[in-house]
């Protein structure tokens, strides 16, 4: 069974640009959530999608957005990039029903903002 796949794995952008990251969940998983991992703040919840609807959102500015498609794949977008957006962005999928908090994580997309 294939795991959670994130693309691209590494990318470099400059301040002011925008970036789109992609996540393909485990087959059959309908929930996708996103986390930002930095050395200073650790792992922080960005948002969660289920059946193409955002169910939950963390405390990030509106520059961070996401969406989910009918096949459960998800994308997140960061506009007007800032140096502080440099981080590892992790996507996780879950079955949701009856399983609380058991997330399956991808290897992440490492974003560097110059």
From the list 81, 94, 109, 111, which residue makes contact with other proteins (rule: CB under 8 A)? 94
Q: At its nearest, how many Å lie between other proteins and the CB of residue 114?
A: 23
* Region binding other proteins by CB under 8 A among candidate stretches 20-28, 36-44, 64-72, 78-86: 36-44
Long-range CB contact pairs, 79-86, < 8 A, 24+: 79/18, 80/16, 80/18, 81/13, 81/14, 81/15, 81/16, 81/17, 81/18, 81/19, 81/113, 82/15, 82/113, 83/15, 83/113, 83/114, 84/113, 85/111, 85/113, 86/38, 86/111, 86/112, 86/113
Site for other proteins in 59-88 (CB under 8 A): none
From the list 48, 66, 74, 78, which residue makes contact with other proteins (rule: CB under 8 A)? 48
Which residues of the chain form contacts with other proteins (CB under 8 A)? 3-4, 31, 33, 35, 42-45, 48, 50, 55-56, 58, 90, 92, 94, 96, 99-108
């Amino acid at each position: 069974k294939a795991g959670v796949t994130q693309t691209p794995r590494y990318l470099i952008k400059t301040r002011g640009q925008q970036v789109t990251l992609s996540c393909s969940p485990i087959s059959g998983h309908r929930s996708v959530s996103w986390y930002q991992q930095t050395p200073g703040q650790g792992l922080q919840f960005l948002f969660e999608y289920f059946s193409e609807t955002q169910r939950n959102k963390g405390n990030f500015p509106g520059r961070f957005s996401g969406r989910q498609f009918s096949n459960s794949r998800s994308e997140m977008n960061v506009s007007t990039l800032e140096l502080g957006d440099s981080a590892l962005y992790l996507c996780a999928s879950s079955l949701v029903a009856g399983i609380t908090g058991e997330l399956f994580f991808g290897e992440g997309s490492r974003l560097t903002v110059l």
